[in-house]
Amino acid sequence: MRESYHESLHEIDTLMIEMTRLVGRAMSHATQALLDADLQSAEKVIAEDEHLDAINAEVDERAFQLVARQQPVAGELRRLLSALRISSSLERMGDLAVHVAKTTRLRYPDSVVPVELRGVVSDMGAIAQRIVHQTGAAMSSHSLEQAQRAVETDVQMDRLHREMFNIMLSPTWTHGVEAAVDMTLVSRFYERFADHAVTVNKRIVHVVTGEPYVGGKTPE
Amino acid sequence: MRESYHESLHEIDTLMIEMTRLVGRAMSHATQALLDADLQSAEKVIAEDEHLDAINAEVDERAFQLVARQQPVAGELRRLLSALRISSSLERMGDLAVHVAKTTRLRYPDSVVPVELRGVVSDMGAIAQRIVHQTGAAMSSHSLEQAQRAVETDVQMDRLHREMFNIMLSPTWTHGVEAAVDMTLVSRFYERFADHAVTVNKRIVHVVTGEPYVGGKTPE
């Protein structure tokens, strides 16, 4: 019985690592679709989010059943309750990739991204990939160093977020209010995506060390 | 022992209802500070958020201890695990009020809100109050009708969010890109605030009915 219980715990981890892979792919495709004004790719990101929602629901159900039936000891209970929260955060990261994809769809066949912002958007997409990979690695290795690396990667996302605003608010901006409104939201979606990854990594640290979860504020 | 256990369950509810009150007050003061360019009120909202974070941590700790020590039956376990998520959502709603307050601080002594948008912002603040009251009422009465009312109130927030964009993107907009960028983010903060209230009410429905939690997507 305990053997199968530990297998079940392990399966929950496997599901969450699969979520990081799907979330990374979603944001990668959403970024490419945004840069290329590629409606078909954008629609695919939107449609495939269902899969993430389904895995999230499965993690919820499995964790609930384990807590209800197995009376886990403190460390295992912390791990299971953290799994509930981690999978919620990953599900939300999938939603943010969908938001980026929907922005592409909203303006299609026009492109959302003015030429001066293509570099920043491309960098935001790359940083989103990196933070997701670091998160998956932290999850599978239970590594505090990997988790810390993800937190540091978020600093780079915040820098790109500010750079986006600097470009839009410079006197040389010629793309008007609509492009600025769109790009403000897009930039916010990437920034929140990385914030959620940080939350996930802080929960991993909490599970590994047993120290209290420290949410804290992400700097503005 | 069971008596004190039920008291503990009840205390968690009391803490969460207190959180709805604090969150409502924070967003009300943040809205007024934004409309009046009132730095002192904005700073107060920012400082008082600590209190919400502390209650959130207390709900977490109490729910964890009850699950670990009392082996709750399925309905009670559902209630405790939902409490963890509900208090996270309420804590996040407090953060969004802080974001509004920080926008006031960022532009002080200038006003963030152009005159054409004062009505929409004021309405968003009022809708934020309404949805928080409905959420507190749903929580204390375990009422599905109240929870449903909150979900309907969110539709009004989404309408105001669209109205905000319509005004900013109209040819008569004379306030330039910076004001539009600021107001895009502010509008998003109110919209997300209401979305989190909807999430809380869906979790209340889940606890009351025992039916699966249906997160679903909030319409764009």
Model confidence pLDDT, tens digit, residues A150-203? 999 999 999 999 999 999 999 999 999 999 999 999 999 999 999 999 999 999
Q: Quick check: A77 and B95 CB within 8 A?
A: no
Residue partners of B153: CB distance under 8 A and separation at least 6: B127, B130, B131, B134, B194, B197
Which chain B residues have a beta carbon less than 8 Å from that of A102? 220
B116 shares contact with chain A (CB less than 8 Å): no
> Region B197-205: what's the mean pLDDT?
97
When CB atoms are compared, the residue of B91, B181, B212 closest to A168 is B181
Which chain B residues have a beta carbon less than 8 Å from that of A220? 99, 102
Q: What is the mean pLDDT of chain B?
A: 95
Confidence of residue A79 (pLDDT cuts 50, 70, 90): very high
B65 shares contact with chain A (CB less than 8 Å): no
Q: Which of A86, A117, A82, A84 is nearest to A23 (CA)?
A: A86
Q: Quick check: A77 and B84 CB within 8 A?
A: no
The gap between the terminal CA atoms of chain A, to the nearest Å, is: 48
Give the number of beta-carbon pairs within 8 Å between A and B: 74
Which chain B residues have a beta carbon less than 8 Å from that of A91? 215
Q: Residue A205's pLDDT is what?
A: 96
Eight-state DSSP code of residue A112: S
Residue B13, SS3?
helix
Q: Nearest residue on chain A to B61, judged by CA atoms? A: A212
Q: Answer whether residue A219 shows pLDDT above 50.
A: no
> Region A35-63: what's the mean pLDDT?
97
Q: Answer whether residue B218 shows pLDDT above 70.
A: no
Q: Answer whether residue A218 shows pLDDT above 60.
A: no
Structural domain boundaries in chain B: 2-209
Q: Quick check: A181 and B165 CB within 8 A?
A: yes
Q: Nearest residue on chain A to B103, judged by CA atoms? A: A220
Tens of pLDDT, residue by residue over A5-33, are: 889 999 999 999 999 999 999 999 999 99
Burial label for A180, CB within 10 Å (0-12, 13-18, 19+), is buried
Confidence of residue A2 (pLDDT cuts 50, 70, 90): low
> Region A114-133: what's the mean pLDDT?
98
Work out the minimum CA distance from A28 to partner chain B, whole angstroms: 21
Q: Is A213 left (phi over 0), alpha (psi -120 to 50) or beta?
A: beta
Q: Which of B138, B5, B12 is nearest to B73 (CA)?
A: B5
When CB atoms are compared, the residue of B68, B81, B95 closest to A84 is B81
| CATH 1.20.58.220 assigned to B2-209 | yes
A181 shares contact with chain B (CB less than 8 Å): yes
pTM above threshold 0.90: yes
Confidence of residue A213 (pLDDT cuts 50, 70, 90): confident
